[in-house]
Amino acid sequence: MAAKNVYLNWNPETEFTLSDSDGHQIAMKKPRGVSPSDLLPMALIGCTSHDVVEILKKQRQELIQLKVTAEAEQDETPPWRFRKIHIRYQAIGRGIEIEKLRKAIEISEEKYCSVYATLKDVIEITHEAEVIEA
């Protein structure tokens, strides 16, 4: 089993700083950083988007840009549990086949994305896909 370490440093001057095992940092807490609850859907779309781009490249699709949004629904009371995340993929390119985009998303969800695999049984995750000709 692979182990991963991430880090958090807090001090009164810089507030919260998250770091991955390579030292890349994310400021956490408003107004200068990302809110902790935004990190969850961001991790999900980051994970699936990376897979989708790689799969579309292998399918020889001429992808110029990928835009992905996630709309997350949470409870209104503590602990503000996530209930649903809806992901919208917008693939911009030349001659991209919508079925290949849908297949790439499916492969990511079913085979590669660790964040999706972790969340799928506890949060309703849906998606939609759109191709825009460049």
Q: The domain spanning residue 50 has which CATH number? A: 3.30.300.20
**With 90 as the cut, is the pLDDT of residue 130 above it?**
yes
* pLDDT (0 to 100) of residue 31: 72
* pLDDT (0 to 100) of residue 32: 79
Q: What is the mean pLDDT of residues 83-98?
A: 98
Quote the domain boundaries for residue 58.
Answer: 36-133
Number of domains the chain is built from: 2
* pLDDT (0 to 100) of residue 30: 67
Same domain, 59 and 11: no
pLDDT tens digits, one per residue of 23-73: 999 998 767 789 889 999 999 999 999 999 999 999 999 999 999 999 999
Same domain, 53 and 6: no
Task: Report CA torsion sign: 61, 128, 41, 30.
Answer: positive
The C-alpha atoms of residue 13 and residue 10 are separated, in whole angstroms, by 8
H or E segment to which residue 107 belongs: helix 98-107
Give the pTM.
Answer: 0.91
19: alpha, beta or left, given left = phi > 0 and alpha = psi -120 to 50? beta
